[in-house]
Amino acid sequence: MKVGTDMRFGSAKPFRRGLRTVVTGGAGFIGSHLCDQLIQRGDTVICVDNLFTGAMRNIRPLLNHPNFSFYHHDIREPLNISGQVDRIYNLACPASPRHYQRDPIATMKTCVTGASNVLELALLKASRVLQASTSEVYGDPEIHPQPESYVGHVNPIGPRACYDEGKRAAETLFFDYHRVHGLQIKVARIFNTYGPRMLENDGRVVSNFIVQALRGAPITIYGSGRQTRSFCFVDDLVGGLELLMESPPEITGPCNLGNPQEFTIEEIARKVIAHSRSISELHHRSLPQDDPQRRKPMIGKAADTLGWRPKVDIDKGLEATIAYFSLSMETNSRDATVASIDTARAARARLPRRRQGRVQTTPAAQAKQEDM
C-alpha cells in the first residue's frame, strides 16, 4: 500500500494510498471533483451514479484511466461491488431544492434506503464509510453560527423535509451501525459549496446568479437579500472530506465543513455582477417556505482535529466559477470540463468578448435561487 503526504496546511500529513474506493454520486458536482482527487492520489476508484443530477461529462476525462470505473446504479437498490473495498464516500442524493423537490419520495428513499444499502456494503466489506450530510440538518437555525452540537430547527412536514429529515435519518443510521456493529464511520455536514461543474439549472444561489449575469438578465433575489450564507469553494471542501475520511477511527463526526465567511445574498449578487462585468440589475421576489435566514458554520472541530480550513477566498472562487460557466455558455457545449482556477481563467480569456445586452425573461423562466 502506497503512502502519500498532504502539504496543504504547512506540514506533511500522511495519506494511505493504493486504496480501493467507492464514491456514490461520483458523477455529480462534488463527487466528480472527489474522484479526480482520489485518482491523482493513487486510489482505484469505482464511481456509482444513477445520473439523476450527475453527468458523464463530469467524469469523461477519467473514463480511460486504468484505475477508474463507472457503475450506473441507483443506491436505493442494494449495492453489489466485487472484491475488496477500503473506503466508501456516500455523496448520492440531489442537493438543490429544485431537484430534490422534483421527486420528494425518491429523495427521502435515497437518503434513508440508500444510506442503509451503503452501510450494508461497508459492513460486508469491512470498509470505512463517510456520509456526506448537510447543513440542512440545522434547518432554519435559532443558534448562530451553528456548532455540531446544535440539534436543529427543522420543519418535518414542509417542502424541504424530504431532504432535511432524510439527511438527519441517514446520520442516525450511520451512528447506529457504528454503535451496534462497530463500523468505522465519518459524518461530514457540508455547507454551501460552489465551483466548476455546478449545473446551470440547479436553482442554487451562485449558479443562478452567474447564469443570469452572463445572460444580462435580472438577478433574482428571494426576500430582502439580507439573509446570509457562507460559501466554500469545491477544492477546499474535497480536501476536508479526504482529511475526515483518513482521520483516526475515533473521529466520527459529525464535522462541519464550510467557509465561515458570511455574506448577504445581495452582497453575493453584486460580486457576481462585478466579476462578470454584467449589466444585470437586481429583481426581488417573495421568499420560499422554510428558507433559512442565516447559515454559517462553526469549523473549530475541523480546524482542531483535521487541521482543515478553507483557503480559496470568495473573489478568486467566483472568478473560476464564472469562467467555467462562461466557457460552457459561449461554446454552447455540455462538455466543458475545465476545473481548476488557473485553467478556467485561461480558457475564458481565449473566448471572444461577450456582447453585452439585456435579455428579457418572464418570471416563469427565471431560475429559482435557493441554497444547498
- Catalogue the active-site residues: 163
Sign of CA pseudo-dihedral 211, 215, 216, 218? negative
How far is 334 from 73, CA to CA, in rounded Å? 22
Angle between helical axes of 314-330 and 341-349 (0-180°, round to 10): 50
Summary count for the chain: helices (H), strands (E)? 11, 15
Residues 126/278, Cβ–Cβ less than 8 Å: no
How many angstroms separate the CA atoms of 94 and 105, rounded?
12
* CA-CA-CA-CA dihedral for 102, 192, 247, 249, to nearest 10: -40
Please tell me whether residue 320 adopts helix, strand or coil conformation: helix
Q: For residue 60, which of 317, 345, 335 has the smallest C-alpha distance?
A: 335
